[in-house]
Structure formats: structure tokens, C-alpha cells
Amino acid sequence: MNKYLKIDPWCILEEGFDPKNHRASESIFSIGNGRFGQRANFEETYSGETLQGNYIAGVYYPDKTRVGWWKNGYPEYFAKVLNAPSWIGLDFKIGDEILDLAKCKVHKFTRTLNMKKGYLQREFVAELPSGQQVKADIIRFISMDKPEVGAVEYKISPLTDNSTITVTSDVEGRIKNADANYGEFFWDEVNKDVSGARGFLTCRTRKTAFDVCIGAEVKADINGNTIELKCQNSQEEKYVASIFSVNVAKGEVLTIHKYASVLSSLYHDKDKLRKNADLVLQDAVKTGFASLLDTNIKVWDNKWEHSDITIEGDDEAQQGIRFNIFQLNQTYTGDDERLNIGPKGFTGEKYGGSTYWDTEAYCLPFYLCTAEQEVSRNLLKYRYKHLQKAIENGEKLGFTGGAAMYPMVTMNGEECHNEWEITFEEIHRNGAIAHAIFNYIKHTDDKQYLVDYGLEVLIGISRMWRQRVNFSEVKGKYVMLGVTGPNEYENNVNNNWYTNTIAAWTLSYTLKVIEIVKSLDQSKYNEIVKKAAFDEQKETTEWTDIIENMYYPVNENNGIFLQQDGYLDKEQLTVDDLDPKIRPLNQTWSWDRILRSCFIKQADVLQGIYLFEDRFDTETIRKNYEFYEPRTVHESSLSPCIHVIVAARIGEIEDAYSLYLRTSRLDLDDYNNEAHEGLHITSMAGTWMSVVEGFGGKRVRDEKLVLNPLIPSRWKSFSFKINFRKALLSIKVTNEEINIYNESDHTASLLIYGQEYLLSGNNNLVVKK
């Protein structure tokens, strides 16, 4: 853990510059807009340790997999989220001295991520080796209104003497990924040009042939008086720059405005990319920095209006949840069904890929309740469009007959994960995709989705589960062998309880959806049967037999579901038995030692209890929580939020609060010493779940929105909004009451502390505790 950031309800604040924290801060202070994103790298030269990062949505490189030896079905590549050409560069020479905070004395340094308004600000005073001091104030944002525009305002002022300041504004394409398997450069230059204060660079990814064009233009003034720039231009391979010098008197302020257009061939024809980048850049320059920033702030105002969670009386908790919501909103906007939510978003390279099961299990609930219905629908359509690829993935692993094995990691529907125990064994991911369809339907009642897309996906996944189990003559039950559950500190286990549970549930839900689709559109159902070559009688009979005869490992003495066969054969220790100095275990223990231990990386049995809690009474939930929580090291970012929800369900409010702080401040306080690699974006949706489903007790049952709120002792109140079946509900919880206002024209059916209510549009409901 590293708590170096200041607490503020609306801002992330770093005071004082410590190079040891810089890479973590580059992650934490990242900004984006769903189309592209930028780590909080300095605009000016920085020779210290840094991870450069400008990332373009949907642009990737298939880096050849590195493995010791090949296996049939193994992915041929590991998709890299590419570090793209950089648009932010503004280098400064003060006289003959380069402004480089790694080589200066840095005074009065502050870095601020203004989450309410959506911009990054940095201020400092730097003392150069000569003794000259300069003051700088920089604001940077990526426009939420104009999705291909970024802008920088850089104010610099000499404090001790008059200075000639030389500015270099560049577009830098000589970049590479830190995680490149073979140290390759992934970009080739297509074209470049620079004239005066404007420059353009177009690069193309190797193999995948995505084109990205970045245009940049600078304007300058001194104390508000515009300067006519006389630029020298520089061109090198994958590099263009505009260079100019300005005489600045002591105390005067030189202001540089840099505008950038960032376009990709995902949205533009390649032969028009340069021209369109020019048009976007011209529009940005004409609009001006102040107006661009103002419209950006207005978009963020609207985002916060619908997705904010307010916590009264606990600024640390408040800052944590807003940071998580901010990152989610700037990572995915939902307007393009080809895009998804990468585990690091636009903040780092680790994990590669665009899509994990995190999207369905964690992110979908957030977007379901805080954004327009089309946003979550597009997340599901993303998987539908990859159905044929999932079938092909299944064929590579030996499945037949249209069985769909969705990938653990993907960019385009193909599996691209490079760890065998994940690629081949962590197949519960398919159940998460099925459950996401169920979750979407119960929140929106959009059954037409099942007709148009959902049933085909469910049939493909159900066929995979049918072939993945086998009947054990010894047990007289269907079993599932050689899997990895959500707890990745176990590999190649038999009968993971969660995987068996979600497999059988998927089969059962598919049977229900078949009947729904038949009742809604028999002709469309017939089309699906023909398209999928679906033998309804034979296949549904087989599925029913599996549902009725699936094996689930349990321990009757403890009253718990066993994580997998043989789990109790391990030496049973708890986290309290561990020396804190050896945590996280994955950074100090061998993999062999981890696999032999009883310690759990993330919620596994409890993941199943969370998803299917209606099946279990409170005592069963409590026994499993009290057994598994002490053995869980929470070394996956996805873990604490599930434990929050389960703990709140059984009334363990202090446990829930402690775990909430861990999930909400995982990156801010760097619990796992990983922030320098990028943020844990997908788990941030779990933080939202912790508040809304944990403390808010939000569920959907029998067509009703259920609320059973609890409030931590440190909080005076908390509030949030929920979209539910076209109703928009504003909910505030205090120690005395729950206040719900229906901001829509649609009636909402509610169940609060077991009491039913109908709340009509534009009306208020107060329920006393």
C-alpha cells in the first residue's frame, strides 16, 4: 500500500513530486473519452522512469505468443493494446537548459485530476541547474464532446530572469510497447507533413493494418497578447515537430495552446484519414481551448447527473467511488458495439486484449443502471457478433456441432490469452456471458433481444457445457474435470463448485429462453433452429438430464460448498497466519507453493452465492462467507466487491465497509503494488456494485426492483440513481429513512424491506426504517 494522495471528494490530488510515485501517478491521473486515452505523462521532457501511453480504442497488434512449448488449440498470438503515437509533446528549453523535472529541483508541485470537470492539471516551480526558476501551470483534457480531439494549455513564466524560451511541439511515433514479447516496433510510417505550427503523422500497425493519423497545431500568447509564430520544422522517421523561440520577460506568462486530432481507420477510410484529421483539427482550433473545455465540462455534468454516488460524512469513501465512476465513464461510452472495456482501459498495457469476462460479470450492472439501455445492449451485441469466432474457438479445442467457447481474452472474437491454465480451463467465463443476458433482460424487460440475438448465443454456450461434462459411473452424476475457477490460485481442478453451478444454470436458463422466443416469434425461432442446426428434442433432453444430475462438491460437516474436490485436503490456514511482508503472495511465493496452498485469490464459491443468492438461506450464506473470507487474500481486483455484497447481505456491515475501502481505493492507495502498470478499470464497476448492491441491497426479483439498504456507521447518508425498466429512480438512504424520487414518467414496481410499492412517475416515496 502507498497512500501518498490527498483526500478530496471531487479531485485526486498529489502534492510534492516524488519520482518513485511517478509511474503510479501516470496511471491514476490518466484521462480518456472512450475513443482514445492518455496516461498522465508529462508534456515536457522527462528523463526519469516513465511508461509512455496513448491508446486508441479498437487498435491492437497480434504479438506472437511466447511459450515454452506449444499445445494443440493454443492461441497463436497475444493481442496487445498498442501504445500509439503521442500527441502531447511540448518540450522547453529555457535559454540553453532543457526543462526536465528529473534533473531540476522541483518546488510547489501539485497534480490534480478534476473528476467533476474532466481535466488534468499540473502546477510546479522548477529550478534549473543555472538557478533560473520557472513556474508552470498546465491543463490537459480529452474532449467528451468531440471524441477525436485533445487539447493542452501550458502556461510557463520565468521567475528569476528574462529568458528566451524555445518550444518544440511534436507528434512522436517512435514508440513501442513495454510489454512487447520480442521487443518489436508495432508501427510503420504511412505519411507525414509539417508546415509552420501544424504537423500530421500517419502510422500503420503491422499485421493488423490499422491506420492512425494524429494532427497537432500550436498557438501562443504572452500575457494574453497573441504571438505570430515563426516556426522551424523538423521531420524524422515517424516524427514531426514545430519549433519556435520567444523572448519572455521575468514575470510574464507564455501560454501555449496545443490542439490535437486523433483519428483511426476504424472510423475513417484510409485514403481520407489525413484530410479528415485536418478538418477535425481546424474545427478544434477555431473553437478554441476555453470553449472546448467548457463543452467538455457540460458533458461531464450530464455524466455525473446520472451516475454519481454521493456519500455524506466520509470523504475517503466518497473520493474512492467517484474515482471509480470517473474512470468507467471515460473508458466506455457505449456508442460503438465493436468496442469493449479492457481491464486497464486507457491507463496501461498489462493484460492486453480488449475483453475479459469482467465485462459481463462486473461492468454490465454499472452501465445497465447508469446509462441509456443501448449502452448495455451494445455490450451484449459485441458477444453476439463474435459467436461464429466462439464456435471456431471451440472447434480448436475439440468441441463440435456449433458449441461456442468464448475466449478468455479477445480483441476480435479469437482467443488470444497466453496462459494455458486460463485459455483451456477457465471456462466459467462462458457462464458469465449467459448470465449477463439474464441480467439485462430482468433489468430492461427487452425480450426482443432474446429473439434477435440472445437465444443463439445461449444455444452455443449450452452446447459447449453439454460436451464439457462427462458422466461419472462412480458418482452417478455429471462431473466437470480439469478446470480453473474464478480463484486463479487453483488450476486443473475437478468439479469447481462455481463452474458446475453456472454451467447447469445456463442450461436451465436456455430452456426457459427457448419457450420465451417461441411465444414471442415462432417464425424467428424456426429460423434460429435452422441456422443453428438445433435438434430441440434431443439437445434439450440431454441438457435436462445434466441439470437434474450435476455433481456439486459439499462438506456436510461445515455446511459449506467445497470450492472443488479435495479442497479440504489442503493445509487449512487463514490470512491472519501470513506475515504481511510476503503479501501479495504472487510477488513472493513460487507458483507451485501458491497452488498447494488453501489461499484464494478472489471470490469463487462466494461468486456463485452472489449470483444465485435466492437459492440459499441466510445461514447457508453466512457459513460459506465465514469459511471462505478468512482464506481469501483478495489479490485480484475483482474480489473485494463480491465479498462486500455478500457481507452486507448477512449484516456484517463492518466487514463490508472495510472491504469497500479496499475495492474503491485499490489503485488510489495501491493495495497490490500494481498501479504503475495501469488501473484496474473493470473491477471499478465492482466498486459501484459494492455501494448499490451491497449497502443499497439492490436486487431485481419477480419484475420488481428490490432495496434492502444498510448504512455504514461512518456515513450520514448515501445516494445513487438507478435506471429500471424506463423509470429513473433517485434514491437516498439515511439512518432514519429511504427517500426515492421517480424522475421519469414511468411507474416503478418496488419491494423495500419486503413491502411492495408502486411509485408512479414524478412522485416521491419515503420509507421509514
Q: How far is CA 225 from the centre of its chain?
A: 43
**pLDDT recorded at residue 67:** 63
Residue 751 pLDDT more than 70? yes
**pLDDT recorded at residue 353:** 63
Identity of residue 529:
V
| pTM, full prediction | 0.96
**pLDDT recorded at residue 76:** 81
Rounded to an integer, the average pLDDT of 140-161 is 98
Rounded to an integer, the average pLDDT of 526-551 is 98
> For cell 425461432, what's the residue?
525
**pLDDT recorded at residue 69:** 59
Residue 620's Cβ-side half-sphere holds a number of Cα atoms within 13 Å equal to: 15
Rounded to an integer, the average pLDDT of 487-513 is 97
Residue 151 pLDDT more than 70? yes
Contact by Cβ (8 Å): 399, 466 = no
Q: Indicate the pLDDT class of residue 769, thresholds 50, 70 and 90.
A: confident
Residue 718 pLDDT more than 70? yes
Per cent of the chain over pLDDT 90 is 93
**pLDDT recorded at residue 256:** 98
Q: Are strands 704-707 and 748-752 parallel, antiparallel or unpaired?
A: parallel
Identify the residue with better confidence: 537 or 63.
Answer: 537
Q: Which of 488, 490, 652, 693 is catalytic?
A: 488
Angstrom distances, CA of residue 647 to CA of 388, 606, 621, 639, 695 = 40, 10, 9, 13, 10
User: For this structure, is 488 an active site residue?
Assistant: yes
Model confidence pLDDT, tens digit, residues 350-382: 887 678 999 999 999 999 999 999 999 999 999
DSSP 298-336: HHHHHHHHHH--EEET-HHHHHHHHHHHHHHHHH--SS-
Among 76-85, 545-554, 753-762, where is mean pLDDT lowest? 76-85
Angle, vertex CA 678, rays to CA 154 and CA 672, nearest 5: 130
Containing 422, the helix (H) or strand (E) segment is: helix 420-423
Rounded to an integer, the average pLDDT of 153-172 is 98
Spatial distance between the Cα atoms of 259 and 283, rounded to a whole number of angstroms: 10
Q: Indicate the pLDDT class of residue 640, thresholds 50, 70 and 90.
A: very high
- Greatest mean pLDDT among 151-155, 583-587, 669-673 lies in 151-155
**pLDDT recorded at residue 81:** 86
Model confidence pLDDT, tens digit, residues 306-346: 999 999 999 999 999 999 999 999 999 999 999 999 999 99
Residue 653 pLDDT more than 90? yes
- How would you label 520-556 residue by residue, b for 16+ Cβ within 10 Å and e otherwise? ebeebbeebeeebebeeeebbebbeebbeebbebeee
Model confidence pLDDT, tens digit, residues 688-709: 999 999 999 999 999 999 999 9
Rounded to an integer, the average pLDDT of 253-274 is 98
Spatial distance between the Cα atoms of 590 and 587, rounded to a whole number of angstroms: 8
Q: What does the mean pLDDT of the chain come to?
A: 96
Model confidence pLDDT, tens digit, residues 69-116: 567 777 888 888 899 999 999 999 999 999 999 999 999 999 999 999
Spatial distance between the Cα atoms of 471 and 546, rounded to a whole number of angstroms: 9
**pLDDT recorded at residue 228:** 94
**pLDDT recorded at residue 421:** 77
Which residues, other chains included, contact 504 with Cβ-Cβ below 8 Å and sequence gap of 6+?
Answer: 465, 546, 547, 550
Neighbours of 735 (CB within 10 A): 10
Q: Indicate the pLDDT class of residue 131, thresholds 50, 70 and 90.
A: very high
Q: Indicate the pLDDT class of residue 524, thresholds 50, 70 and 90.
A: very high
> For cell 521567475, what's the residue?
159
Among 24-33, 346-355, 699-708, 712-721, where is mean pLDDT lowest? 346-355
Spatial distance between the Cα atoms of 165 and 343, rounded to a whole number of angstroms: 41
Rounded to an integer, the average pLDDT of 657-677 is 95
- Of 519, 599, 513, 613, the C-alpha closest to 563 is 599
Angstrom distances, CA of residue 277 to CA of 237, 617, 678 = 20, 59, 29
- Of 429, 420, 376, the C-alpha closest to 397 is 420
**pLDDT recorded at residue 68:** 58
Model confidence pLDDT, tens digit, residues 443-473: 999 999 999 999 999 999 999 999 999 999 9
Rounded to an integer, the average pLDDT of 266-279 is 98
**pLDDT recorded at residue 130:** 96
